[in-house]
Amino acid sequence: MGKVYIRTFGCQMNTYDSERIASIFNEMGFSYTENPEEADFAVINTCSVREKPQQKVKSEIGRLKRVNGIKIGVCGCVAQQEGEKFLDNFKDVSFVFGTDAIGRLYEIIDLVQKGQRVCDTSTNEGEISIPSFSRETSVSAFVTIMKGCDNFCSYCIVPYVRGREKSRKAEEIIREINYLVENGVREITLLGQNVNSYGKNLDENINFPKLLYMVNDIKEVKRIRFVTSHPKDFSDELIEAMIENEKVMPYLHLPLQAGSDNILKKMNRKYSYGEYLEKVAKAKERIPGLALSSDFIVGFPGETDADFEDTLRAIEEIEYETIFAFKYSPRPKTKAFNLEDNIPDDIKSSRLDALLKKQEKITRKLMKKYLGQICEVLVEGMSKKDDSIYSGRNPQNRIVNFKSNKNIKTGDLVSVKIMEAKKNSLFGLSV
Ligand code: SF4
């Protein structure tokens, strides 16, 4: 039996795609290995949203090519963008496949095994291929409901490499979720570049809030999460659906990106800070215990000290539990690529640092509010550091490690009293 090693860069969409790639290799008789040294095939799932992960691909190829006889494949956004150029520039790469070609991987692997070098970056304008149903399951699973994006934020490469928005049919999504729960999954994360656009290009009368009701009706599903929501499409109807469907967790990732209207406009985000704040305030007021998270870009072209101050003020005002922040890097093809990248790197770094430091204080303060609370934890297994301690997540997606003398199984929902708030996790006792 051959072995496959997969290295994934980038977002959750890529993580999900890597799972599908692993399951196709599995169906073709390959087992998965964490050790590239023993692999017959290696797949690098690339991300082109920022420059750094793109550079890492080259060093990964350099590392892998030293493994005797290994066949190296490259997929994901960089592969979609570069296509044949990858095969021309990297003689050690045997196959390149795009984001729409995962369903054709069976044929690609077959050709590579016969000694051919293959490039398949053709796009499939039809339905999103149905994920393989043989992937290994755990307590939580991602389910793609749509892909692509029509928003064209000025800094973002996604609409160019992942294409326009395409939604999967609801019945296909429900079928996949039914399969997953039959195999032990209890928490479903609905995944899309902009889940709030779900259904727009389908004939059926469906949108994202309606889909939440359908998933909530599946008996064995215990928890529902979703990423990512675009703030401009975040609606009252969605807030209602989050309240009415008890399995939808009180966690919302709503990327603000910048606190300054001037920068938001240049980013083509299509909302002002005031509009964003209004939506978030309503969601916080209506959804008990809501935890918020967000993405930020610092050092966007033309970002002044005052613009950046607006971002600092925003995180203080909104009080996110978590943020993901990055320094701006220009991406070819995007609109912002034509703007002068005029913020020196040391200023970008110091702004990033200041933002993360401020967030650390906010997170510390918010973690303390869990002390003494009794929360429901979905058990994912034993703690990696200590096998006498159980580990899972609370509704707000925080890791909770806890002790218990009850007979607890993975996938159980357990009530835990929080005794200690650490930097990024909580500790408690089952009650
Ligand atoms: S919403 Fe904007 S940032 Fe998100 S994928 Fe679409 S273009 Fe990119």
pLDDT of residue 171: 94
Q: Is the CB of 152 under 6 A from ligand 1?
A: yes
What does the radius of gyration of the chain's CA atoms come to, in whole angstroms?
22
Residue 187 has pLDDT above 90, yes or no: yes
pLDDT band at 135 (very low <50, low <70, confident <90, very high): very low
pTM for this entry: 0.82
Q: How many CB atoms lie within 10 A of CB 384?
A: 9
Is the preceding peptide bond at 137 cis, omega within 30 degrees of 0?
no
List domains and CATH numbers for the chain: 3-120 (3.40.50.12160), 137-249 (3.30.750.210), 276-369 (3.30.750.200), 374-430 (2.40.50.110)
pLDDT per position as a tens digit, 136-180: 448 988 888 998 899 999 999 888 877 889 999 999 999 999 988
In the numeric block, the tokens 């429901």 are attached to: 376
Q: What is the pLDDT of residue 130?
A: 42
Atom of ligand 1 lying closest to residue 230 CA:
1
Please state whether beta strands 3-8 and 41-46 pair in parallel, antiparallel, or not at all (unpaired). parallel
- Is 385 buried (19+), middle (13-18) or exposed (0-12) by CB count in 10 A? exposed
Question: Is residue 128's pLDDT more than 50?
Answer: no
Can you give the pLDDT at residue 124?
61
CB of 416 closer than 6 A to ligand 1? no
Average pLDDT value for residue range 235-254:
97
254 in contact with ligand 1, CB cutoff 6 A:
no
Angle CA(44)–CA(127)–CA(334) in degrees, nearest 5? 55
- pLDDT category at 202 given cuts 50, 70, 90 is very high
Q: How close is the Cα of 222 to the center of ligand 1, in Å?
A: 29
Is-contact 399 425, C-beta < 8 A?
yes
Instruction: List, for residues 297-354, the tens digit of each pLDDT value.
Output: 999 999 999 999 999 999 999 999 999 998 998 888 899 999 999 999 999 999 999 9
The b/e string for 339-371 (b: 16+ C-beta within 10 A; e otherwise) is bebebeeebbeebbeebbebbeebbeebbeebe
pLDDT at 105: 87
Pairing of the two strands 118-120 and 166-167: unpaired
